[in-house]
Chains A and B, each alone.
Chain A
Amino acid sequence: MPTKIKPPRILFWITLSALLVISLFVCYSEKSKLPPSIEITTRNQPTLGYNKAIVHVVVFEELKCSNCKDFNSEIFPKIKKKFIDTNKIRYTTIPVSFLPGSMPAAVATLCVFNEKPLYPNPELFYKYMDYIYKHQPSETTDWATPERLNAFAKATSPAIDLEKLDSCVQKEKFRVQIQRNTAYGKQLMNGTISTPTVYVNGILVNEMTYKEIKRVIIEVLEHEGVY
């Protein structure tokens, strides 16, 4: 019969197994590679979590941006519960200011953080920032006045020295640092800064959902062998 031949069956099976092995190998070796990362310096920035943690999450935040508000109310508590409180990661916030009128708010958070210059207080910083986000007025209003920031601080915690805060905000003591942060963020993000922006060990997280951030954190933890 001309349409039938003795088929090369052994060769067929050998090829099939070879292709299977190669595919599995490629999948495995690609899975163990991490996406490209950048170097980020976080000296003197408010940081939470175990200070020797291998995985370091860095977030750029703008006090007036409403996406940052959502990030802090929806996503941050979950990250805190799952990764920070369990000493899996270090978590740093780099406050920036590029929306009109947000500078006093950004300065105020650093004033609270550095109230005692030798003993910066990240817990208080995060508490204050959380309160500001929870009561954040609309992005279009010019709400970040020294009076408003003082009232927010008063409601946040009695631990904040309101007089010190007021003079610190009036003097814009941390304006230069905020400007430096903003310029730094711009440089890292290739010219256009956007917030919130999350980096996990320098790897940019592309989608601002808890699911995606968690996925990248776990990927890096697994890569470092600490998950």
Chain B
Amino acid sequence: MWIKRYGLYFSWLFATIGTLVSLYFSDVKNLEPCHMCWFQRICLFPLVLILGVACYRGFLGISRYVLPQVVIGLLLALYQIAVQEIPGWNPINICGAGPSCAKKILIGLGPISIPMLSAFGFFLITIFLILTWTKQRSES
């Protein structure tokens, strides 16, 4: 089935696009990343290399190694969306000094914020990794 052959490819593709978009905001648009953003980037950036090598070599077993960090990234993104969208709700202030995590920055896509893009990206990567994983498990 196609998911077996292309699942890793798509998860790598979305991780790479996510990384490029993130770098676009920080280095081309000069938006300084907040702490939450940095944690999500820590979860995202290594995937480009790890998934890239796994995709190139066809190693489906990688899903179980990287899923934890992908899920953590997804949870961080969802948490930040909640902090930005629910007024006054900010239970633990992870942000510290530096750019505000709670301030929603409009990026010219209507109500869509950067953590929403992040969550969407992590969600897609998660889906493709889980599909790859279940496919591989059902066959072994």
- Residue numbers of A with Cβ under 8 A of B are 2-9, 11-12, 15, 19, 22-23, 26-27, 30
> Considering the chains assembled together, what is the distance between the CA atoms of A164 and B52 in angstroms?
78
The complex places the Cα of A27 from the Cα of B136 at a distance, in Å, of 39
Chain A residues with CB under 8 Å of B140's CB are 2-3
Within 8 A of A (CB), among B1-23: 4-6, 8-9, 12-13, 16-17, 20
Which B residues are in CB contact (< 8 Å) with A26? 24, 28
- The reply to whether A5 and B4 form a contact with Cβ atoms under 8 Å apart is yes
Give the nearest-CB partner of A35 in chain B. Answer: B30
**Pair B59/A8 contact, Cβ less than 8 Å:** no
For the residues of A in contact with B, the DSSP-based class is helix
Q: Is B129 an interface residue (CB 8 A)?
A: no
A12 touches B28 (CB 8 A): no
Which B residues are in CB contact (< 8 Å) with A15? 9, 13, 16
CA distance A3 to B9 in the complex (A): 15
Q: Determine whether B74 belongs to the interface, using a CB cutoff of 8 Å to chain A.
A: no
Residues from chain A with a CB closer than 8 A to the CB of B47 are none
Chain B residues with CB under 8 Å of A5's CB are: 4-5, 58, 60
A-B CB contact pairs (8 Å), 9 listed: A3-B59, A4-B59, A5-B58, A6-B5, A7-B5, A7-B56, A11-B9, A12-B9, A22-B20
Question: Quick check: A27 and B5 within 8 Å, CB to CB?
Answer: no
- Number of B interface residues at 8 Å Cβ cutoff, please give it: 23
Q: Kindly state whether residue B68 has any CB partner on chain A within 8 Å.
A: no
Count the A-B residue pairs with Cβ separation under 8 angstroms: how many? 48
Cα–Cα, bound, A7→B6 (Å): 8
- Contact A19 B136, CB 8 Å, known A6-B58, A27-B28: no
- Residues on A with beta carbons closer than 8 Å to the beta carbon of B16: 15, 19
* B52 partner residues in chain A, CB cutoff 8 A: 12
Cα A8 to Cα B4 in complex, Å, equals 11
The listed residue (B12, B20, B56, B61) touching A9 by CB distance below 8 A is: B56
Q: A7-B57, A26-B28 are in contact. List 20 more A-B contacts (CB 8 A).
A: A2-B139, A3-B59, A3-B60, A3-B61, A4-B60, A6-B58, A7-B55, A8-B9, A8-B55, A11-B9, A12-B9, A12-B56, A15-B9, A15-B13, A15-B16, A19-B17, A19-B20, A23-B20, A26-B24, A30-B28
A225, chain B: closest CB distance, angstroms? 22
Contact across chains for A7 and B58 when beta carbons are under 8 A apart: yes
Closest residue of B by beta carbon distance from A22 = B20
* CB nearest to A6 among chain B residues: B58
User: Which residues does chain A contribute within 8 Å of B17, judged by CB atoms?
Assistant: 19
Q: In the complex, which residues of chain A have a beta carbon less than 8 angstroms from the beta carbon of B13?
A: 15
Q: Are B5 and A8 in contact (CB under 8 A)?
A: yes
